[in-house]
Structure 1
Amino acid sequence: MKNRKISIVIVDDHPIVIEGLRTMLNSQPFFNVTETFTSGSEVINFIRSHTVDIIFLDITLPDINGTELCREIKAISQETSVIMFSNRSERSIIIQSIQNGASGYILKNTSIDELVICIKGALSGDIVFCNETKQIISRPAHNILPIPRLTKREKQILQMVAQGKTSNRIAEELFLSPLTVDTHRKNLLQKFHAKNSTELINLAVQQDMIEE
């Protein structure tokens, strides 16, 4: 941090959040917000050709779940530290983010002083959390399950189930047999540990795995 500013990228689908965070970070002498993006595809294209020290990444984006985007970013640029920056405070999402390579998880009500400490910690190789996130992950995990890993087809069928489509309708639209669709639905129930489709959808919504 001695001779150059730390390059920071912000990824959030709310411009007002981006501007607020940019102003806070740029007020610090060693930080420079080099770019901001409102979608995951934009930041992926950017980091393929630019060196970035820190990425502040929201969970909810219009084209991809933030935890999955974190995994993609780390696959492209292992040296970039990704700090999740979100209003989502579910313990399972925090844990999944770290499992996917995030260097930390900070809630959006965090102060600038905490942000600075977390950035410095992440650059030193630490896993960082704001005080509120520390309290969340320190609580006992009562039957908290990790976010299921779904295949592309399972994600597609999950979305269609959430839209209220029957197996026959899904099979018709995807050019599959109804038996194949039923098999995928059973696999989804098992992965979410759900008893029925209603519980499946509720759990998927909680995990932010269904598009609005």
Structure 2
Amino acid sequence: MTVTLAEKIEIAIVDDHPMVVEGLKTLLKKEKNIVTHSFTNGANLISFLQNNEVDVVLLDIVLPDVNGIEVCKEIKTMASRTVVLALSNQAERSIILQMLQNGASGYLLKNVSADELLQCIEEAQKGGIAFSKEVKAIMAKPSQYDLQAVPSLTKREKEILKMIAGGKTSQQIADTLFLSLFTVETHRRNLLHKAGVKNVAELIKIATDYRLL
């Protein structure tokens, strides 16, 4: 089945692999109603969106300058009506959930067919949540983290989390960041509480699963 988009739309492709970008541009140019823009990193896209509008962003997760999950959040802050669809090789359920929580309207794996891609774009533009077939299968599988929201961490908490994961003691962290031992211990307890875990090993596992490190 061939899908044809009825209305003219502008689509931004964000991916640092030239072959992926050119392949998508070639595919989308077959649709007379589509205008494409391409970017190899998140910063260039955000700069473009400050003075221009697009209808849809096809966004890779792994970019050379910033995580696509953070880019998605920034896009939705700047332009809430812009539809963001993740287009990635990352098939982890936790990443899919993070993208949705940051405002994405869908998630597609890069092996998606041309018709399926256009169907998902159309579905997302109509206000739906669009998944490629393989992502639907991933989302159908139960996960121990389904009912647990991704912990929202402050900049300082993220900094301390990375140092904990690096094996530093509370005293070493305090010395490095010029904080009191009491302050670091407080941050450590807050991290455990936010993650809903009892020890550092579990904290690091959840942080890894949710790509917080």
Preserved contact between residue 92 and residue 146 of structure 1 (Cα < 8 Å): no
Out of 12-21 and 170-179, give the one that drifted further.
12-21
* Deviation per residue, 1:172-206 (Å, 9 max, x gap): 22221111111111221222233332332232222
Match 2:197 to one of 188, 191, 194: 194
Q: What is aligned with 1:152?
A: 155
* Deviation per residue, 1:89-139 (Å, 9 max, x gap): 232332232222111111111111110101111222221111111222233
Q: What is aligned with 2:170?
A: 167
Preserved contact between residue 65 and residue 208 of structure 1 (Cα < 8 Å): no
Match 2:179 to one of 169, 176, 185: 176
Q: What is aligned with 1:122?
A: 124
What secondary structure sits across from 1:159 in the alignment? helix
Match 2:112 to one of 104, 110, 115: 110
Q: What is aligned with 1:28?
A: 31
Preserved contact between residue 65 and residue 209 of structure 1 (Cα < 8 Å): no
Preserved contact between residue 16 and residue 39 of structure 2 (Cα < 8 Å): no
One-letter amino acid of the counterpart of residue 154, structure 2: T
Output the CA distance in 2 between the equivalents of 1:79 and 1:73.
Answer: 9
Mapping for residues 9-24 of structure 1, pairs under 5 Å? 9-24=12-27
The TM-score, its normalising length taken from structure 2, stands at: 0.86
What secondary structure sits across from 1:157 in the alignment? helix
Match 1:83 to one of 56, 74, 85: 85
Output the CA distance in 1 between the equivalents of 2:144 and 2:46.
Answer: 35
Q: What is aligned with 2:136?
A: 134
Rate the CA distance shift 1:69–1:133 in 2: closer, same or farther, 3 A. same
Q: Can you give the 5+ residue segments of structure 2 that lack an aligned partner in the other structure? A: none
The TM-score, its normalising length taken from structure 1, stands at: 0.86
Preserved contact between residue 12 and residue 58 of structure 1 (Cα < 8 Å): yes
* Identity across matched positions, percent: 49
Preserved contact between residue 54 and residue 81 of structure 1 (Cα < 8 Å): yes
What secondary structure sits across from 2:85 in the alignment? strand
Output the CA distance in 2 between the equivalents of 1:43 and 1:27.
Answer: 23
CA apart distance, 1:43: 1.7
Output the CA distance in 2 between the equivalents of 1:3 and 1:85.
Answer: 22
The aligned length equals: 208
Preserved contact between residue 95 and residue 146 of structure 1 (Cα < 8 Å): no
What secondary structure sits across from 1:32 in the alignment? strand
